[in-house]
Amino acid sequence: MMALRDTHVTLAHGGGGKAMRDLIASVFEPEGQEDQARLMDAALQEPGAKLAFTTDSFVVTPVEFPGGDIGKLAVCGTVNDLAVGGARPLWLSAAFIIEEGCEVALLRRIAKTMREEADRSGVRIVTGDTKVVGRGSADKVFVTTAGVGVIPPGRHLAADTIRPGDVALVNGVLGDHGAAILAARGDLALSTDLQSDCASLGHLMEAVLTAAPNARAARDATRGGLAAALNEMAQAAGVGVEIDEAALPLRPEVKGMCEILGLDPLYLANEGTLVLFVPPEEAEAALAAMRTRPEGRAAAIIGRASDQGPGRVTMRTAFGGRRIVDMLVGEQLPRIC
Amino acid sequence: MKYVEEFRDPAAAQAVLAHIKALSDDMGLTAEQPLRIMEICGGHTHAIFRFGLDKLVPPGIEFIHGPGCPVCVLPMARVDECIEIARQPGVILTTFGDAMRVPGAKGSLMQAKAAGADIRMVYSPLDALELARRNPDRQVVFFGLGFETTTPSTALAILQAAREGLGNFTVFCNHILLPPPLRALLQDPLNMIDAFIGPGHVSMVTGTHIYDFIPADYGKPVVVAGFEPLDLLQSVLMVLRQARDGRAEVGNQYARVVPEHGNPVSLKAMAEVYEPRPSFEWRGMGEIDASGLRIRDAFRAFDAEARFAIGYGAPTAREIEEPEGCACGLVMTGRVKPTACPRYGNGCTPETPLGALMVSSEGACAAYWQYGGARALEAAE
Amino acid sequence: MCLGIPGRLVAVADEATLMMVADVSGVRRAVNVACVADGALPGLIGRWALIHVGFAMALIDEDEAERTLEALRSLGEAQEALAMMAEGDRALEGAA
């Protein structure tokens, strides 16, 4: 294998020739990605087991941020997609759209964090692809991942199984990712010690489902934040959801950022936070199970489903008032007034 | 957070609410015969919905949402003019996030950005100044919006640019003054307002005396309020006490931030850089005399209107009509609730806003939509 | 209109342009203190200011803040007294 000498990606690295071979061999193959995978897992053999399959694309500015990078985001995002559906994540693919001029060192760092995160979450990145596009046609690098997992027999997590009285939990603090990215972009000139919450939740989900076998449904509160996840679940189940503002775990820095910019933390993106509904009698067990995991230390019961206002999410404010928590139309913008 | 959490204490709220309820009962206020209190400031409107205060106060207290949201009252023509500036070659247009989605007749800044204009959101006019320093070959224009609270910040930015001799920084000035529209509202014989909650942050700059004419000429109470929920509830109680006693005065609930005579440095900077325009158009309210500010000739070099020859009052720009059936004007003067507008939810939603009250998160209509005003929440129950 | 938030002035960023660092719950930002500076900037370190669009627009008057909170507390005490009286009334009615 030739060591790759270039410091920056050129269009030649996408040309299908030796340069491309070098890039892949030097950057991605050492991290375990190969051309085509042949796969077998005992879990697939169990009668009644189902295959879960998901895909997601990742674009983020900046590509590296406190608490992670686009590669970690891609692995966590895909693992979490599988995990909240009740699947044990097994294999991932990763495709990279690379902008001409992207630093090779950056790609190496990304490939390495992906490998590390995959190891942590017990999945293998088994296949990959790269393409190079001209300067300005991408923002350094875009990543698309697909993931395959197995849902064990008898497990059925779906939002339409949520019933009035079910309890809603989150595994951790809200809004860290959204706030950390806003600060990391630098154009608002705000500085914090905040880190993205970017984390894989596969192990946490397994622990929760062992402790609360009748859990109804889970969703990762990514884009659109907790508000979007709860609204989607309330609508799918045809139940009302009422949450308690005082119970929402929030870091002071996230509160501070939201106060400065006039943002609502319910709409900030998370990358390692899920919301879970369980029957009331399993709520304490689910909470305890979450808290055994590092990514569940700040777990909390935040509300419950009801037969009031089907499809609606309402919040009891910390101040004792009540308000509707709707989905946002577009992106939340900082405001001055 | 100091000076925030203490003023969000739910236990203290119960006490204030009990006093409000007792007084409201004593005065015989009911949903049919309420005391109508206009919170002038959009920030107050936002806080009322965010904390659910409209549903905590007794039914005899009705909030009317006033005109104090600078992006809501911005006429469409000014948005169009701003887009025209943004499209000029070499221009970087900088703006607060609030203005990005406000529709002009020819679309919003967000759409202009998608179509290729270099439009950037900033947190502060100082960030626009910094962009100008870093991009000497570009013209950096700041979309200057806001009442007396925000005006000193652009004035100080212009003074700083003048000191540095920055030749590529201008402000597109849409600053407006609060007292003229209040007077216009009060002169309307159909107005429904019994009392006012005054904007705390405007008053921090101007002092409280700018409201003296309200009790003096119109006999209505005013209480300048802070922005936390306890601030607002305490202000409601102060208003009620004035109304019960038959008093009309300017009260100050927000003395921790609002000095009686305002902030002298801010006032001086504003007066040095800006002067009133003969008149300025308010969305939904029409032209109001001496209600807008323009940059003085001495600072002409920093005036985007001068640099790009887009003057206020260009006749073609003035003739743009507001959308048909839009009741923004009636909502802003407190005569109807957002939900009574024929276009509310019917062609006018945050997705496709017709009137600016639906665009800005401070606008009464968007606040109703997002946080579920009384009607939406009742429907859910 | 006019989002403003209390922040603590924690450091001088640039004396010449009157810039200091404000801290809001662990979020820091350089702000202009022209409106509140009355003498050398280091004298402002530790003071709380109302921050709006990158400017410290007013210093927060701690005594006035305390007075407002005191007024709120006394409303609470008056409320408790009223509630106790109401309780007493009900007890009397029950006895009668």
pLDDT of residue A209: 97
For residue C19, the cross-strand partners are C14, C32
Inter-chain CB proximity B1 and A255 less than 8 Å? yes
SS3 content of chain A, % helix, strand, coil (to 5): 35, 25, 40
Judge if B53 and B111 occupy the same domain: yes
In this model, does residue B316 exceed pLDDT 90? no
For residue A142, the cross-strand partners are A97
Bridge-based pairing of strands B279-282 and B286-289 is antiparallel
Q: Both tokens of residue B129?
A: 């100044």
pLDDT category of residue B321 using cuts at 50, 70 and 90: low
pLDDT of residue B312: 73
Tens digit of pLDDT for each residue in B266-281?
999 999 999 999 999 9
Please spell the DSSP secondary structure of B213-243, one letter per residue. Answer: HHHHHH---EEEE-SSHHHHHHHHHHHHHHH
Q: CA-CA distance, A263 to B50, in Å (whole number)?
A: 11
Tens digit of pLDDT for each residue in A295-336?
999 999 999 999 999 999 999 998 888 889 988 877 888 888
Helix/strand/coil for B196 = strand
**Average pLDDT, integer, range B273-296:** 92
In a domain, B11, yes or no: yes
In a domain, B238, yes or no: yes
Whether A307 contacts chain B with CB within 8 A: no
Q: Both tokens of residue A295?
A: 């990514």
| Lowest-pLDDT choice from A210-214, B135-139, B337-341, C50-54 | B337-341
Judge if C68 and C24 occupy the same domain: no
Inter-chain CB proximity B15 and C72 less than 8 Å? yes
Q: CA-CA distance, B76 to A335, in Å (whole number)?
A: 19
The neighbours of chain C, by the rule of 3 or more Cβ pairs under 8 Å, are A, B
Judge if B291 and B352 occupy the same domain: no
pLDDT of residue B379: 43
| Lowest-pLDDT choice from A25-29, B38-42, B92-96, B224-228 | A25-29
Nearest by Cα to B227 from B196, B259, B253:
B253
Chain B, 291 to 330: residues with Cβ < 8 Å from chain C are none
Give the count of domains, chain B: 2
CA distance C69 to chain A (A): 16
What is chain B's mean pLDDT, rounded? Answer: 90
For the entire predicted model, the pTM comes to: 0.92
**B8: domain range?**
1-325
In this model, does residue B357 exceed pLDDT 90? no
Whether C12 contacts chain A with CB within 8 A: no
Q: CA-CA distance, B192 to B351, in Å (whole number)?
A: 31
Q: CA-CA distance, B109 to B116, in Å (whole number)?
A: 11
Judge if C80 and C48 occupy the same domain: no
Chains A and B form CB pairs within 8 A to the count of: 113
> In this structure, what CATH number is given to the domain that contains residue C9?
2.30.30.140
pLDDT of residue C41: 96
pLDDT of residue B313: 54
Judge if B199 and B138 occupy the same domain: yes
Q: CA-CA distance, B158 to B299, in Å (whole number)?
A: 8
Residue of B6, B149, B381 to mutate, testing the A interface (most A Cβ within 10 Å of its Cβ): B381
Judge if B340 and B254 occupy the same domain: no
**Average pLDDT, integer, range B117-121:** 97
Nearest CA in chain C to B153: C55
Q: Both tokens of residue A8?
A: 């920056």
What is chain A's mean pLDDT, rounded? Answer: 93
In a domain, B314, yes or no: yes
Residue partners of A136: CB distance under 8 A and separation at least 6? A99
Q: CA-CA distance, B272 to B87, in Å (whole number)?
A: 30
Please identify, in words, the CATH class of the domain defined by A11-151.
alpha beta
Chain B residues with CB under 8 Å of A321 CB are 51-53, 55-56, 229
In this model, does residue A3 exceed pLDDT 70? no
CA distance A192 to chain C (A): 5
Maximum C-alpha span of chain B:
67
What are the start and end residues of each CATH 3.30.1330.10 domain in chain A?
A: 11-151
Nearest CA in chain C to A250: C25
Inter-chain CB proximity A262 and C3 less than 8 Å? yes
Chain C residues with CB under 8 Å of A257 CB are 27
Whether B211 contacts chain C with CB within 8 A: no
Nearest CA in chain C to B18: C79
Percent of chain B with pLDDT over 90: 69
| Phi, psi (deg, nearest 5) at residue A48 | 90, -10
Judge if B340 and B295 occupy the same domain: no
Inter-chain CB proximity C2 and B201 less than 8 Å? yes
Whether A244 contacts chain B with CB within 8 A: no
Chain C residues with CB under 8 Å of A265 CB are none
Tens digit of pLDDT for each residue in B30-82?
999 999 999 999 899 989 988 989 889 999 999 998 888 888 888 888 999 99
**C86: domain range?**
62-96
Inter-chain CB proximity B146 and A319 less than 8 Å? no
Chain A residues with CB under 8 Å of B113 CB are none
For tokens 């991408």, the residue is A138
Judge if B349 and B244 occupy the same domain: no
CA distance B145 to chain A (A): 10
Give the count of domains, chain C: 2
CA distance C50 to chain A (A): 11
CATH 3.40.640.10 fits A159-324, yes or no: no
Tens digit of pLDDT for each residue in A158-211?
999 999 999 999 999 999 999 999 999 988 999 999 999 999 999 999 999 999
Inter-chain CB proximity B360 and A318 less than 8 Å? no
Judge if B342 and B194 occupy the same domain: no
What are the start and end residues of each CATH 3.90.650.10 domain in chain A?
A: 159-324
pLDDT of residue C1: 46
Which residue ranges of chain C lie beneath pLDDT 70? 1, 93-96
Judge if C11 and C56 occupy the same domain: yes
pLDDT of residue B27: 96
Judge if B338 and B265 occupy the same domain: no
Inter-chain CB proximity C2 and B6 less than 8 Å? no
For tokens 């998608």, the residue is B114
Whether C2 contacts chain A with CB within 8 A: yes
Judge if C44 and C80 occupy the same domain: no
* A251, B93, B97, B247 from B119: Cα distances, Å: 32, 5, 11, 50
Inter-chain CB proximity A337 and B377 less than 8 Å? no
Tens digit of pLDDT for each residue in B195-238?
999 999 999 999 999 999 999 999 999 999 999 999 999 999 99
pLDDT of residue C94: 61
CA distance B109 to chain A (A): 13
Q: Does the interface ipTM go beyond 0.85?
A: yes
In a domain, B205, yes or no: yes
Judge if B110 and B2 occupy the same domain: yes
Whether C52 contacts chain A with CB within 8 A: yes
Residue partners of B341: CB distance under 8 A and separation at least 6? B325, B326, B327, B328, B330, B331, B348, B365
In a domain, B100, yes or no: yes
Judge if B274 and B317 occupy the same domain: yes
